[in-house]
C-alpha cells in the first residue's frame, strides 16, 4: 500500500501543495523540450528529403558552433562570424552532396546511413585539427543573448524564468514554425517529400536531386548552428555537445522521423515528461531517471504506433 501511495498519490499531493514548484518544473521541461525539438528537427529535415538517418547531425552541431567561435577568435565581429559560419555550413552541404551523396544515388538506405557514420568521424577529426580539443566558452554576450532571470511571484511562491531560456524558446519556435511552413506549402517542400519517397520517380518528373540535397543539408546546417548556440550558451562548447543528438532519438521515435510537427510535440512531451518524472517520481527510484525515462516513454509509443505519433503510415503491400 505504501508503495502504491508513493507512486500514484503522493506526487500529485506534492504538485497540489506547491503549485509554484510545479509551474517551475513545467517551464524547465518546456525549455528543454523546445531545445530537443530543435535537435530532432535537424534529423527530420534530412530524413524527409533523402530517407537517410543522419548520424552526423550531432557533430554538425558542434562543428557549426566551433566554426562560429573560431571566426570570432580570429577577430571577426560576432554577427559577421554567424554569417561566415552559415557560409561554411553551405560549403559543407555542397561538399556532402558532391562527395558523399551523389556517388551513392539509388543505393539502399543502409549504405547512406553508413556514409553518415564516415562523415561523423571525418568531422570529429577535421574539427579537432582546426579548433583543437579544448572546450570553448560560448560568445553569448557578443550575440546579445540575455543574461539573468525574471522572478515572478505567483501561486504563493516564486517562479524563476531565465532570460536565456525565454530567448531560446522564442528563437526555436520561430525556426520550427518557419520550417514547418516551408515543407508544407512550397514547391520546394513538395519536391523534398518527393525525393524522400523515390529518387527515380523524382528524377523523372524533373526534380534535381543535387539541388534538393544541398537545400536540406544547408537547412539542417542552419538548425545545427542555432542548436549549438542555444545549447552552448547553457554550458560551454566542446565535442561532448554532440551527445545532444542522443537526446533527440527518443523525440524522433515519439514524433515520427518524417514529421516536423511530430518533432515539436515529441520534444515537448519528452522534455516535460523528463523533468516531471525526475522531480516527482525520481526520489522513488534513487534519482537519475532523467537519462532513461525518455527512452521508456518512446518505447511505449513504439508498441502502439510503430510510425510514431505523427509519422507517415508505413504501407507495405504484400
Partner 1 sequence: MTPRVTNHIAEILLSIENVSLSFGGVKAVAAVSFDIRKGEICAIIGPNGAGKTSMLNIINGFYHPQQGRITFKGVTRSKMRAYQAAAGGIARTFQNVALFRGMTVLDNIMAGRTLHMRRGFFLQLLRFGPAQTEEIAHRHRVEEIIDLLRIQSIRKTIVGQLPYGLQKRVELARALAMEPDLLLLDEPMAGMNVEEKEDMSRYILDVNRHQNMTIALIEHDMGVVMDLSDRVVVLDHGIKIAEGTPQEIKTNQAVINAYLGVAH
Strands 157-162 and 149-154: antiparallel
Residue closer to partner 1, measured from CB, 88 or 209: 209
In angstroms, rounded to a whole number, what is the distance separating the alpha carbons of residues 70 and 55?
24
In angstroms, rounded to a whole number, what is the distance separating the alpha carbons of residues 182 and 45?
11
Residue closer to partner 1, measured from CB, 112 or 202: 202
Using CB under 8 A as the binding rule, the residues of this chain from 209 to 238 that contact partner 1 are: 209
| Residue whose C-alpha is closest to residue 91's, from 126, 40, 48, 47 | 126
Using CB under 8 A as the binding rule, the residues of this chain from 157 to 186 that contact partner 1 are: 181-182, 185-186
Least Å from the CB of residue 93 to partner 1: 17
In angstroms, rounded to a whole number, what is the distance separating the alpha carbons of residues 277 and 167?
25
End-to-end alpha carbon distance in the chain: 51
Listed ranges 52-60, 167-175, 201-209, 262-270: which one lies at the site for partner 1 (CB under 8 A): 201-209
Residue 141 burial class via C-beta count within 10 angstroms: exposed 0-12, middle 13-18, buried 19 and up: exposed
313 in contact with partner 1 (CB under 8 A): yes
98 in contact with partner 1 (CB under 8 A): no
Using CB under 8 A as the binding rule, the residues of this chain from 243 to 262 that contact partner 1 are: 258
304 in contact with partner 1 (CB under 8 A): no
Residue closer to partner 1, measured from CB, 142 or 198: 198
Binding site for partner 1 (CB under 8 A): 181-182, 185-188, 190-191, 193-194, 197-198, 200-209, 258, 312-313, 315, 317
Amino acid at each position: 500500500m505504501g508503495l502504491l501511495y508513493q507512486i500514484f498519490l503522493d506526487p500529485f499531493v506534492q504538485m497540489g501543495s506547491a503549485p509554484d514548484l510545479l509551474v517551475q518544473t513545467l517551464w524547465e521541461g518546456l525549455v528543454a523540450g523546445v531545445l530537443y525539438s530543435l535537435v530532432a528537427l535537424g534529423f527530420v529535415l534530412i530524413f524527409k528529403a533523402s530517407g537517410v538517418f543522419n548520424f552526423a547531425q550531432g557533430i554538425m552541431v558542434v562543428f557549426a558552433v566551433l566554426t562560429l567561435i573560431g571566426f570570432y577568435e580570429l577577430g571577426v565581429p560576432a554577427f559577421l562570424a554567424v554569417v561566415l559560419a552559415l557560409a561554411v555550413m553551405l560549403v559543407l552541404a555542397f561538399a556532402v552532396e558532391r562527395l558523399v551523396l551523389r556517388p551513392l544515388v539509388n543505393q539502399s538506405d543502409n549504405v547512406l546511413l553508413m556514409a553518415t557514420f564516415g562523415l561523423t568521424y571525418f568531422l570529429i577529426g577535421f574539427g579537432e585539427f582546426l579548433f583543437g580539443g579544448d572546450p570553448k566558452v560560448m560568445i553569448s554576450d557578443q550575440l546579445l543573448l540575455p543574461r539573468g532571470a525574471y522572478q515572478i511571484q505567483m501561486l504563493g511562491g516564486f517562479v524563476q524564468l531565465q532570460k536565456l531560456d525565454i530567448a531560446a524558446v522564442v528563437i526555436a519556435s520561430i525556426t520550427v514554425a518557419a520550417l514547418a511552413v516551408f515543407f508544407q506549402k512550397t514547391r520546394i517542400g513538395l519536391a523534398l517529400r518527393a525525393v524522400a519517397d523515390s529518387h527515380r520517380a523524382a528524377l523523372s518528373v524533373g526534380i534535381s536531386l543535387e539541388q534538393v540535397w544541398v537545400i536540406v543539408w544547408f537547412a539542417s546546417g542552419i538548425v545545427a548552428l542555432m542548436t549549438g548556440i542555444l545549447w552552448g550558451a547553457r554550458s560551454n562548447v566542446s565535442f561532448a555537445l554532440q551527445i545532444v543528438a542522443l537526446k533527440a532519438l527518443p523525440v524522433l521515435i515519439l514524433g515520427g522521423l518524417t514529421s516536423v510537427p511530430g518533432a515539436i510535440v515529441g520534444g515537448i512531451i519528452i522534455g516535460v515528461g523528463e523533468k516531471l518524472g525526475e522531480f516527482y517520481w525520481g526520489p522513488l527510484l534513487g534519482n537519475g531517471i532523467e537519462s532513461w525515462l525518455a527512452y521508456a516513454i518512446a518505447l511505449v509509443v513504439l508498441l502502439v504506433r510503430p510510425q510514431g505519433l505523427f509519422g507517415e503510415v508505413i504501407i507495405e503491400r504484400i
